[in-house]
A = this chain, B = another copy of it.
Amino acid sequence: MLEVVGLEEARTLVEKRFPFIRDEIETVRLHDAAGRQIARDVIATEGVPAFDRSTVDGFAVIASDTFGCSDALPAILELAGEIDMGGTPSCECAPTTCVRIPTGGQVPTGADAVVMLEYCEEYGDGTIGIARPVAPGENIVFKNDDVKPGEILIEAGTTLLPHHIGTLASLGFATCEVRQRPVVGIISTGDEIVPVKATPVASQMRDVNTPVLAAAAEACGALVLTFPIVPDDFEKLFASVEQALGICDMVLVSGGSSAGQKDNTALVLSALGDMLFHGVAVKPGKPTMCANVGTRPVFGLPGHPVAAYFMFLELVAPLLAPREQQTFVRASLSAGVPSNHGRSEFVAARVEQGDSGAIATPVRGKSGLISQLSGADGFFVVPRNCEGLPVGAEVEVRLFR
């Protein structure tokens, strides 16, 4: 029999044992790449900007031609031509001349600064009056100034956000290599569990865990396969988990691990592979376990939906998506939380913005049923062996979204 482990220890055990859930790569269109994890570092193959670029609408000049000019004594420069937005400069900027240029236009050869339009006057005779001097480099971004070729722009494993898609687009990636989405199999077990469509009689419960865990795994970027509800029967659960392992990268079993008569999930996981831990010192969520089957994780999660969801977020989500995707908010407690001994405790909380920072208000219900989370924005963990948390204590709330 394995020892009950702490929450942090459980997380470390699974993260060490399962660094990759699925490391195959696939190529997707850029349009389908948002939210996916990019497979390789993205190296700048081109510099940014690709040419010396004007940051204003105005006239490209040789800066020294403008030194000393003013409203009273403008520098008079001959207009040598005009830069089009989409074209190669068709003219150069020789001494005492200037070239009309739009924002984003390519600075013509010879010019080393751009004067903003508002400081220029067209005299109508092919000359331009410049009323403000510019320093060399003014209003220009030089080629490769922001990104040098060879620079890492996006690290492998990054979950692609809209601006990463923009970076890829700017580099000409019409397709992109991303990690394949891991396939997560979900199985609910328990004699009392009936399908969502059913009307429970007596102490039957609808299968809440399958849709909750499916939605949570999909939010982490996984593909989900759900399996039929399995009764409290060793052979049937063994067969179902084995079937799931044939087509999934990870299997989540919830229920079947009550402290009562039956603990089929533990028996099945032990029979299939090596148990990493069996029991986590956290409330709610104690009957949580993980086994290594081949190289794939099989989790036994609590039957209690809130506990199953919290343990998913704490132990399973880190294997599917980088921690950066989770949102934590530091907040002060609006009410004290009583002490607990020997076990960490999850407390659901509502988070509001107060005058001097975020405020977390614990949301508690006796049943701990999932509908009570409707009033909560996230949860925090009261550490193991902590003497309770007083009003005003700072907690780190993990938001559900």
What distance in Å separates the Cβ of A116 from its nearest Cβ neighbour in chain B? 10
- A294 interface residue per 8 A CB criterion: no
Given contacts A208-B166, A261-B102, A329-B329, contact A174 B197 (CB under 8 A): yes
- A309 interface residue per 8 A CB criterion: yes
**Interface segment, one of A49-57, A266-274, A339-347, A383-391:** A49-57
- A205 interface residue per 8 A CB criterion: yes
B329 and A259 within 8 A (CB): no
* Smallest CB gap from A142: residue in B: B366
Q: How far is the CA of A73 from the CA of B206 in the complex (A)?
A: 42
- A83 interface residue per 8 A CB criterion: yes
Q: How far is the CA of A210 from the CA of B168 in the complex (A)?
A: 12
Cβ–Cβ < 8 Å partners of A35 in chain B: 219
Please provide the chain A residues from 153 to 212 with a CB less than 8 Å away from any CB of chain B in the complex: 153-154, 159-174, 190-212
> What mask results when residues 240 to 264 of chain A are scored 1 for a CB within 8 Å of chain B, else 0?
0000000000000000001111000
A366 and B146 within 8 A (CB): yes
**Chain A, interface residues (CB within 8 Å), range:** 35 or more
Q: How far is the CA of A317 from the CA of B218 in the complex (A)?
A: 23
**Interface segment, one of A19-27, A86-94, A128-136:** A86-94
The complex is assembled from copies of this chain, and their number is 2
* Smallest CB gap from A200: residue in B: B50
Given contacts A170-B370, A214-B31, A366-B55, contact A88 B202 (CB under 8 A): yes
Given contacts A88-B202, A105-B203, A146-B367, contact A196 B211 (CB under 8 A): no
| Other-chain contact of A373, B49, B166, B208, B374 (Cβ < 8 Å) | B166
B327 and A399 within 8 A (CB): yes
A367 and B172 within 8 A (CB): no
| Other-chain contact of A172, B196, B327, B357 (Cβ < 8 Å) | B196
B103 and A258 within 8 A (CB): yes
- A371 interface residue per 8 A CB criterion: yes
A53 and B260 within 8 A (CB): no
B201 and A88 within 8 A (CB): yes
A→B interface (CB under 8 Å): 30-31, 34-35, 44, 48-51, 53, 55, 57, 83-89, 102-106, 117, 141, 145-147, 153-154, 159-174, 190-216, 218-219, 226, 232, 258-261, 303-306, 309, 324-325, 327, 329-330, 357-358, 365-367, 369-374, 376, 399-401
11 sample A-B contacts, Cβ–Cβ < 8 Å, listed by A number: A57-B260, A86-B190, A86-B191, A86-B202, A104-B192, A104-B258, A145-B365, A145-B366, A146-B369, A167-B371, A171-B371
5 tightest A-B CB contacts, nearest first: A88-B202, A85-B192, A34-B215, A166-B370, A106-B203
